[in-house]
Amino acid sequence: MNLELENKTALVTGGSKGIGKGIAKALAAEGANVVICGRGMEELQEAEKEIKQSGGNVLAVQADLTKQPDVDHLVSAAVDRFKTIDILVNNAGVASGFDDFESLEIEDWEQLFNINVFGTVRVTKAVIPYMKKAESGRIINISSESGVQPDAFMPHYNASKAALINFTKSLSKAYAENGILVNTVSPAFIMTPMLDNMLKQTAEKEGITFDEATQSFLKENRPHIEVKRPGRVEEVASAVVYLASSQASFINGVNLRVDGGSVASQ
């Protein structure tokens, strides 16, 4: 299958680690020019090194997406290097732990939304003009199963991910006539370094093995993951690469769940 991504330029926010880095590596492997951003320079440089070692063409830009000047610099640096932006993957986001509603202050909501939602809005707003000029483009927003099937905890995170799904649908209606297709990918329980570390801490605290900690978390918090295992970063990346490709030319406004069956409805 020819995905026709060679020499396309993809901007992946939060591309220095975890799912974002996996997406950047997968796009680079298909021949795309990749621009990654993150707040930590050390992690950015390491991700850039990994992608270059595998033969990818990559530009790393340090940026805080809560700051408009950083967003402007990120997009201008990408365009200066690669002339345009064909693919935008809005992956940057944070979670703040298993907070309950009453323990959260309004400031907690504002800070999380400023990254998870408004960061996506800022970057998208800066990139759209280049895609309109080219009369083509792909925007893929990384949400979560929590945006469809929220937990009792982390209500601000759940709401932010639901907002991204709604934002995607709105943009898919607004820009399809410009040749810009906008979709969501919603992972669930993906084995990222953050999750790996959390499970290791749980295993050590409870005096159990890593596998036992993983299965316990699945049983208690993700009972509907029918494949009975965490997802892999590569499985999310594959879905994103497909939606970014020419093979997905009639897919617009969808929420593609990469969740092993975790969402317990259609």
**Rg, the chain, Cα only:** 18
DSSP 264: S
Q: What are φ and ψ of residue 10, in 5° steps?
A: -120, 130
Whether 157 sits among the annotated catalytic residues: the reply is yes
Buried b or exposed e, range 56-93, using 16+ CB within 10 angstroms: bbbbbbbbbbeeeebbeebbebbbeebebbbbbbbbbb
Contacts of 20 (CB under 8 A, 6+ apart): 12, 13, 14, 36, 38, 89, 91, 92, 142
Q: 130, 157, 175, 242: which is the annotated catalytic residue?
A: 157
Which positions are annotated as active-site residues? 157
